[in-house]
Amino acid sequence: MRYLTDRKRAERLGSARRGTEAHWAQTISAVALALMMPTWLVVFGRALGGSRDSVLATFAQPFPAILTALVLVVAMRHFARGMVNMIDDYARGTARKIGIMAAYFIAGGIGATGIFAILKIAL
């Protein structure tokens, strides 16, 4: 029989051996998104009602293009990690493996498409 103190239980990573790491990664990406999103919403909001040429001119500038790319990358990593956590909690076996692959595929596809569009506009 093992006797562990509360401190020893808290220092461990949990049954998957990555619980604390996943939590901190999600927390850091959430804070990053919370700091970047208001600025990005202002940039996007100003370009939203404009003509095609004005939108292209806005996102051809370095700051809006880089900010949009950063928001997209961080948001897709946050999305993928969150989906993997949910899938780990509720799915087992082959469904778990397919779900994790689908989550990364969807996040990667959205991220790659967005980065391609930003690069095409900015360059």
**CATH code at 64?**
1.20.1300.10
Cα torsion 81, 82, 85, 90: sign: negative
Domain count, the chain: 1
Q: Is the pLDDT of residue 5 over 90?
A: no
pLDDT, average across residues 40-45:
96
pLDDT of 18: 66
Residue-wise pLDDT for 49-95, tens only, equals 999 999 999 999 999 999 999 999 999 999 999 999 999 889 999 99
Q: Is residue 69 part of a domain?
A: yes
pLDDT of 66: 97
Q: Is residue 11 part of a domain?
A: no
Residues in the chain: 123
Structure tokens at 101: 């692959």
Residue 23, amino acid: H
Average pLDDT, the chain: 90
pLDDT of 23: 86
pTM of the predicted structure, to 2 decimals: 0.82
Query: When comparing pLDDT for 6 and 104, which is higher?
Result: 104
User: 3-23: string of b/e by CB count within 10 Å (b at 16+)?
Assistant: eeeeeeeeeeeeeeeeeeebe
CB 67 within 8 A of CB 39: yes
Q: Is residue 65 part of a domain?
A: yes
Where in the sequence is the domain holding 93, given as residue range(s)? 18-122
For the chain, state the CA radius of gyration.
Answer: 19
